[in-house]
Amino acid sequence: MTTAKTTTKKFNARTATRADFDKELKRIASHKCLTGKALKVEEDEAKRAELQAKYDAILVEYDKVKKAKAKKFPGRKTYMDFTKEEIAALNLEQTMAGIASLACKRCRYPQLANEVRKVENLFQAHKAELQGKAAAREALKGMSKEELEALLAEAK
């Protein structure tokens, strides 16, 4: 039996896919973890200083790869980032999903509760507006053409 020899490619951020970025970040994080553990148990000051420098370099490398990934693959927008105009463009189902997500976030991160509540209130207001329109549409569906014309004449 022969053992398979694996060749490692040098990571290239320009041609990397999302999976390649994830693999590289995982590799660096593993390296960082091992170096951090070695740093904690090392007693020799010279070796400890060398390990600390190595650990700091790993942190810099991790940040660089993470920023490159974020630049190449922008993340999804969270409901917290929605503007009033974007909220107004949502349908009822999307609005309900946003409210549920924000409520969950508010519970999970109590320190952000006030900011989340403000955005959640915008979603709640839009929901009420959409439900009011839906109720009005339902009421209009049952009316005859004559009744609708009379309603329009009355409104003028």
pLDDT in tens, 48-107: 999 999 999 999 999 999 888 888 887 767 888 888 999 999 999 999 999 999 998 888
Q: For 9-25, what is the mean pLDDT? A: 87
Per-residue tokens: 130: 């959409």
pLDDT at residue number 100: 92
Angle at 95 between CA 92 and CA 98, to 5 degrees: 155
Asked whether residue 1 carries a pLDDT value surpassing 50, the answer given is no
Q: Any idea of the CA torsion for 132, 136, 138, 140, to the nearest 10 degrees?
A: -170
Average model confidence (pLDDT) across the chain:
85
pLDDT of residue 8: 57
Whether residue 144 has pLDDT greater than 80: no
* pTM metric for this prediction: 0.47
Position 111 confidence tier, pLDDT thresholds 50, 70, 90: confident
CA–CA separation, 62 and 55 (whole Å): 11
Pair of tokens at residue 34: 């091992």
pLDDT score of 143 more than 90: no
How many C-beta atoms lie closer than 10 Å to residue 40's C-beta? 9
Average pLDDT estimate for 138-156: 76
Distance CA 24, CA 18 (A): 10
Q: What is the Cα–Cα distance from 140 to 137, expressed in whole angstroms? A: 5
Strand, coil or helix: 17: coil
Q: What is the pLDDT of residue 61?
A: 93
